[in-house]
């Protein structure tokens, strides 16, 4: 069977009929990875003398068309299908078989010159093809899309940390005034968070680089050449530019999605860090007159349909929302990962859907936040100075000179009577004006800690 206007066949049509569930389709990144996997398999099968050169070349050419973005409508299947991704593997087999047959001068359908199972799927099972494509898609998305954006944002914030290293401001703990630090030191904490996130992501990549292909149905490698697994992983590495290797234990590679669970945990960690950073930015920019207002962020668009002149921290809000989604995705990925049975995990389409959505959200979110917010952060020096000078926590500098109890008494009196710290200290007679000026110097309270 071949649909008259489609390269798909009977298996594709059955899936469309049996899984009319919601609107989520198999991600484009996964379709690309499936086509790449089929291309690599055809090449290696030919090299090993298992597939005729003419057939292999036709399959490769058909796969290259898919990789170039052609035939996008030929992959319409829902995420919510068999948990092994079998329908999508067969969809790809049918599309490539029918297109390859055309390239050889043949017809589509039952009279085609390329068989979807015997030729396109040679030496393969959905059970090793789909997990391989998942790892290929995840690795490419992380290394080519998300990690570069993370590095860009980290560099932007590092530039701000250096630029603002001389601006002393009041610190805050428990949402209460604390001892001073520089604005550069505060932002350097954000930079260090992102550096750790990069390390966590890097740590997850070696497991993602392990490919299941060659394990076939249950991990034993039934119906494959002894050299096939190693060769096809090397071919995928060459085609993608990624450091793929054959999985040392195919039983683990088929039975689990542990590599994706681990990697998505790093994505969740990044989401947690980005949410903290975005929340700090919007708090520090709150106002303009009745908030903290220590920094200014770009005024990108009107913030209210009723309040004229209102500007909202929209980039921070978008970033925090998508971070919530990533954290929710992580729960689904974890449950899917924990729910495999015996030789096969059957939650794969859902897992890769959530994984790739998280990568897209984080990559696009960081790019938007960087361009439309982080790059435009500027200090409000006047407001920073005002709040610093009004803070009672500067009294902490007196602890080592007059003791905690007397310093606390100075702060309490100043707060109760609306006095400055100096006026309160002098009224209590605990030190002279010269001593106060010598000991309470905010710029000397920030330590020698570098912003890096």
Check: CB of residue 361 under 8 Å from CB of residue 322: yes
Sign (positive/negative) of CA torsion 186, 189, 190, 191? positive
118 labeled binding residue? yes
Those residues whose C-beta lies under 8 Å from the C-beta of residue 289, and which sit 6 or more positions away, are: none
6, 135, 165, 174: the catalytic one is 174
308 labeled binding residue? no
86 labeled binding residue? yes
| SS3 state at 381 | helix
Those residues whose C-beta lies under 8 Å from the C-beta of residue 89, and which sit 6 or more positions away, are: 34, 121, 126, 129, 130
N-to-C CA span, the chain: 64
Gap between the Cα atoms of 264 and 111, Å rounded: 44
305 labeled binding residue? yes
User: Could you give the angle at which helices 183-208 and 258-284 cross, rounded to 10 degrees?
Assistant: 170
304, 372, 391, 424: the catalytic one is 304
Measured CA distances, 319 to 278, 293, 330, 432 (Å): 7, 20, 17, 50
Gap between the Cα atoms of 220 and 303, Å rounded: 60
Closest CA to 169 of 426, 390, 364, 16: 390
Ramachandran angles phi, psi of 2, nearest 5°: -140, 125
Q: What is the DSSP letter of 395?
A: G
358 labeled binding residue? no
Decide if 304 is catalytic. Answer: yes
Gap between the Cα atoms of 201 and 142, Å rounded: 8
256 labeled binding residue? no
DSSP 126-177: HHHHHHHHHHHHHHHIIIIIIHHHHHHHHHHHHHHHHHTTT-EEEEEETTEE
**Interstrand relation of 210-211 and 245-246 (parallel, antiparallel or unpaired):** parallel
84 labeled binding residue? yes
DSSP 6-41: -S-BHHHHHHHHH---SS-B--HHHHHHHHHHHHHH
302 labeled binding residue? no
Check: CB of residue 66 under 8 Å from CB of residue 96: yes
Gap between the Cα atoms of 137 and 359, Å rounded: 11
312 labeled binding residue? yes
125 labeled binding residue? yes
Which residue bears the tokens 């391989």?
Answer: 132
Gap between the Cα atoms of 225 and 221, Å rounded: 8
156 labeled binding residue? no
Check: CB of residue 208 under 8 Å from CB of residue 236: no
| SS3 state at 219 | coil
165 labeled binding residue? no
311 labeled binding residue? yes
168 labeled binding residue? no
Binding residues for substrate: 84-86, 115-118, 125-127, 173, 305, 310-312
Catalytic residue annotation? 174, 304
Binding residues: 84-86, 115-118, 125-127, 173, 305, 310-312
């Amino acid at each position: 069977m071949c649909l008259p206007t489609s390269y798909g066949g009977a298996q594709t049509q059955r899936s469309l009929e049996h899984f009319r569930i919601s609107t989520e389709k198999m991600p484009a990144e996964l379709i690309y990875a499936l086509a790449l996997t089929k291309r690599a398999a055809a090449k290696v099968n030919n090299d090993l003398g298992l597939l005729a050169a003419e057939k292999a070349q036709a399959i490769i050419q058909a796969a290259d068309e898919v990789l170039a973005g052609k035939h996008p409508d030929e992959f319409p299947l829902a995420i919510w299908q068999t948990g092994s991704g079998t329908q999508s593997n067969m969809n790809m087999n049918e599309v490539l078989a029918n297109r390859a047959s055309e390239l050889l001068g043949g017809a589509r359908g039952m009279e085609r010159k390329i068989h979807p199972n015997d030729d396109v799927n040679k030496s393969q099972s959905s059970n090793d093809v789909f997990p391989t494509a998942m790892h290929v898609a995840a690795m490419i998305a992380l290394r080519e899309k998300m990690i570069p954006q993370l590095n860009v944002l980290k560099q932007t914030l590092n530039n701000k940390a250096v630029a603002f290293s001389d601006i002393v401001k009041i610190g805050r703990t428990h949402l209460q005034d604390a001892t001073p630090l520089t604005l550069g030191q505060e932002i350097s904490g954000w930079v260090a968070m992102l550096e750790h996130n990069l390390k966590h992501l890097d740590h997850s990549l070696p497991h993602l680089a392990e490919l299941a292909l060659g394990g076939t149905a249950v991990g034993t490698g039934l119906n494959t050449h002894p050299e096939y697994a190693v060769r096809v992983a090397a071919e995928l590495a060459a085609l993608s530019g990624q450091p793929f290797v054959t999985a040392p234990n195919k039983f683990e590679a088929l039975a689990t999605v542990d590599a994706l669970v681990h990697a998505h945990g790093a994505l969740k960690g990044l989401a947690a860090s980005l949410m903290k950073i975005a929340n700090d930015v919007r708090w520090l920019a709150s106002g303009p007159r009745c908030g903290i207002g220590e920094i200014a962020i770009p005024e990108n668009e009107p913030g209210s349909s009723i309040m004229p002149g209102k500007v909202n921290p929209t980039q921070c809000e978008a970033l925090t929302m998508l971070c919530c989604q990533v954290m929710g995705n992580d729960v689904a990925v974890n449950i899917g990962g924990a729910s495999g049975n015996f030789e096969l995990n059957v939650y794969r389409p859902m897992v890769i859907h959530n994984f790739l959505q998280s990568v897209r959200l984080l990559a696009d979110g960081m790019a938007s936040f960087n361009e439309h917010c982080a790059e435009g952060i500027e200090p409000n020096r006047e407001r920073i100075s005002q709040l610093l000078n009004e803070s009672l926590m500067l009294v902490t500098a007196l602890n080592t000179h007059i003791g905690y109890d007397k310093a606390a008494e100075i702060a309490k009196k100043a707060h109760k009577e609306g006095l400055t710290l100096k006026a309160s200290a002098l009224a209590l007679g605990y030190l002279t004006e010269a001593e106060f000026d010598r000991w309470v110097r905010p710029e000397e309270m920030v330590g020698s800690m570098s912003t890096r």
